[in-house]
Structure 1
Amino acid sequence: MLVGCNRLSDLVIGTVRTQSSDSLVTDSASSATAFACGNASGGRLGPIGVDDNGIPVASILEAAHLSGLRTGLVVTTRLSHATPACKTVDYVLNGYFIMIEASLLAYIKQYIDSHPDTHLLSAADHECGGLTLEDGYNPTALQGANHTFEYLGQLFGDYKGNKGAYLKDKLLPMYGLLDVSSDNIEALVKIAQDRGVGALGVAAGNLLASEAGLHWSTEGHTAADVVLYGYANKDALRAMKDLIGRNINNNDIPLYIEEVLGLSLADTTRALRKDGVDWVGRRDELHLVKRAGKARARGHDH
């Protein structure tokens, strides 16, 4: 629960459309470019930080840095992953611009309450899963899940004894699954052996979802809009809602940050290109990458 906030929904100010320039279902690279650079690019599995012609475009982080702000980037994955550029959470404070992936909004909200010159924006780069409710929807089945399967998977991987018994008697009850059949336990252990702990987590999640009456249409990206969370002091929050408190495009978010901080993405992009763009790679090579990515995407069940 958010401290000083009854519900996470209290921070909702709008929704975000996530499509790329040529596909309703975006790739992480395209959505990262939109979120970071204010530029809608296309191509499933395409390159990051360039427009549709393969020419580099500057990010809001670069614009903040060149304007004299101190900048930072905190991620839960490798820095070369597309998503960090997409900045799941942004906030600005006293001459800082910080992008934090997968942060806890409660702590940032507390900080803003005591530092009213700070703004918070949070949105996913795309929706995953395609969540729907089935007949017999029962959210109380989720109450017993007290740990993520990322944590439980680490315990499972480290355990040296009888994996099936450990899974049934120790781990799955902490995940809210209290009465899993022997056949399902055997199947889960085999999934872990054949495909790894990550696949085990997906399978266990599907069992829990089934008990709760939830259904996921895919394990990949979807075209659904995502929620936009925002927070600031009273006057700034009103201005934020006036500017972006509705259904917006993903590339509108850095344009809002640009306006609030008095930055110029256009000037930063010109500076980025001033010595030429040959270092990016040939555009025909980028188009080959994009075409190959589209071919792979067409054959993928996501």
Structure 2
Amino acid sequence: MQYSLTLLAAGLVAQTGLTWAAPQAKNFIYIVPDGYGQASQTMARDYVSLQKTGSNASAPIIQELAGDRLVLGTVRTHASDNLVTDSAASGTAFSCGHKTYNDAISVTPDGQPVGSILEAAKLDGFKTALVVTSTINHATPAVYSAHVANRDSYEAIAAQQIGYSHPFGPVVDILLGGGRCYFKPQSDPTSCRSDDLDLFSFAQKKGYHVMQDRAAFDAYLGDYTTNASLPYIGLFNDDQMMYEIDRSKAPEKEPSLLEMSKAALGTLDQATRASKKGYFIMIEASRIDHAGHANDAAAHVHDTVMYNEVLGFVQEWINAHPDTMLMSAADHECGGLTTNAFDPAPLVNVQHSFEYLKTVWEAYNGTDARGYFTSTVLPAAGLSDVTDAQIDKLLGASSPWAEMKKMIATKAGVNWSTGGHTATDVTLHGYAAGKKWREFKGDMAGNHDNTELPRYIEKVLKLDMDATTAKLRAVNGSWVAGPDAARKRRDVHSH
């Protein structure tokens, strides 16, 4: 027994889950609901159901969300150096099939690059895409398209993603998300770079159509299918894209994750329809995780609902395009969310994220701060019924936002055990059409290590990730960005 445990700890026991037959498909869609756990799905399901059915927590009528129809199994998430992973280590496992340390972007613990499923697809003639609501050079999209020792190397990641410093050149045909400031030279007052690299200009020279706002997205991708050609890049915020709870109140500012996903899939389908080679796309519902870090229940719910809307659309897409398969799993759970004495009704009254409300409050320069806080901020936070004494306490607190989040969470019976990640297993979702769906379920039912998922996609698409790794390692020079390339994060929701 001790001998077996020692072998397991050393990683020397064969992973029997890697012996799938695996159905074949032309295209593969992988979706990451960053920071999403089983309690996230329960909270979103109940939130939507009680509104749709007009029922309440005392006599609930619960309806399934799209994700409930697509459950295959569960996934283990530990990193090589910690039982609790971050998005970089787990993302490297999801994209490359290798365990690594927290903060590593598609390199092994000894610093060697490993090829991603996206890179392998690109080298084999597939079209590729990354669609996220984080900055495009955040950990999860980065692991598919860059290789650095530390996830904080945002400038180096952006340069690799667009092909400026990647040994294969541009490997991503579609990039949609946030992080605009990392593609502008330091001479631009909104730049985050410390050098003169103008990556948007470089992208245009490489044939990319560049979009930097919602109007440009609508002009180029408004009908999703007919007017756009690859490659293109659309970055719609200098930082993370907006929480869905905020974006939905101002849709003219940014496209939603669903809109970006529809656009990307429509143009990928058009670009590959006459080809034997299809496409690989990674879609990330990034801000579920950020809301978990912030312990912001309403923001977490809205982004989880959006993830389910994307899943529902993709299921319909696959029914209409049966040569396509879907797999989806979170990189980790975030927040240690539990729902005790749960009633989502108070969350319905929350109109904005606390991140947004804090920004609005800090920008107020009027003469009646208390009146503005009472008449504008508190109702938008779902707290219009607080007493004068509670208002006094909030205005006198070192962090009124932390106290307000606790108040709304208490009302809804939502509990957070941490502002970080947890080691809990995550749900594996998937879908395929017809016979493929039965084969897929037979292959992937049960519990899997996160390194197994890209190896399954590799079989489905007939790719060779190890050959891609060998090509990366054959490149001369120290092109893998080391820890010295890391800069201070622009945002606070990085893990």
| TM-score with structure 1 setting the length | 0.77
The alignment's C-alpha RMSD in Å is 3.4
Matches within 5 A, 1:210-249: 210-249=410-449
Q: CA deviation at 1:170?
A: 3.2
Q: How far apart are the structure 2 equivalents of 1:176 and 1:234?
A: 45
Q: How far apart are the structure 2 equivalents of 1:25 and 1:177?
A: 34
User: Is residue 263 from structure 1 mapped to residue 320 from structure 2 by the alignment?
Assistant: no
Q: How far apart are the structure 1 equivalents of 2:393 and 2:115?
A: 48
User: Is residue 28 from structure 1 mapped to residue 76 from structure 2 by the alignment?
Assistant: no
Aligned residue in 2 for 1:204: 404
Q: CA deviation at 1:241?
A: 1.6
1:166–1:280 distance in 2 versus 1, CA, 3 Å: same
Bigger shift: residues 89-98 or 24-33: 89-98
Q: How far apart are the structure 1 equivalents of 2:378 and 2:328?
A: 32
Q: CA deviation at 1:183?
A: 4.9
1:237–1:175 distance in 2 versus 1, CA, 3 Å: farther
| Aligned counterpart for 1:82 among listed residues 139, 143, 160 | 139
**Amino acid across the alignment from 1:97:** F
Q: CA deviation at 1:112?
A: 2.3
Q: How far apart are the structure 2 equivalents of 1:160 and 1:211?
A: 31
Q: How far apart are the structure 2 equivalents of 1:155 and 1:106?
A: 34
Paired residues of 2:131 and 2:284 also in contact (CA < 8 A): yes
Aligned residues: 275
Aligned residue in 2 for 1:121: 327
1:232–1:184 distance in 2 versus 1, CA, 3 Å: farther
**Amino acid across the alignment from 1:129:** G
Q: CA deviation at 1:271?
A: 0.9
Aligned residue in 2 for 1:17: 76
**Amino acid across the alignment from 1:260:** V
User: Is residue 177 from structure 1 mapped to residue 377 from structure 2 by the alignment?
Assistant: no
Q: How far apart are the structure 2 equivalents of 1:126 and 1:81?
A: 15
Paired residues of 1:18 and 1:225 also in contact (CA < 8 A): yes
Encode CA deviations 1:256-297: one digit per residue, 9 max, x unaligned.
111111111111101111134643367xx79xx9xxxxxxxx
Bigger shift: residues 175-184 or 81-90: 81-90
Matches within 5 A, 1:150-169: 150-153=355-358, 155-156=360-361, 158-161=363-366, 162-169=368-375
**Amino acid across the alignment from 2:374:** K
Q: How far apart are the structure 2 equivalents of 1:132 and 1:229?
A: 21
Q: How far apart are the structure 1 equivalents of 2:122 and 2:135?
A: 21
Q: How far apart are the structure 1 equivalents of 2:379 and 2:363?
A: 18
1:138–1:231 distance in 2 versus 1, CA, 3 Å: same
Q: What SS class does the counterpart of residue 134 from structure 2 fall into?
A: coil
User: Is residue 70 from structure 1 mapped to residue 127 from structure 2 by the alignment?
Assistant: yes
Paired residues of 1:163 and 1:189 also in contact (CA < 8 A): no
Encode CA deviations 1:144-179: one digit per residue, 9 max, x unaligned.
335444554555455544454334333443443332
1:13–1:160 distance in 2 versus 1, CA, 3 Å: farther
Q: CA deviation at 1:228?
A: 1.9
| Aligned counterpart for 1:100 among listed residues 261, 283, 287 | 283
1:66–1:174 distance in 2 versus 1, CA, 3 Å: same
Q: How far apart are the structure 2 equivalents of 1:256 and 1:190?
A: 55
Identity of aligned residues (%): 44
Q: How far apart are the structure 2 equivalents of 1:47 and 1:218?
A: 23
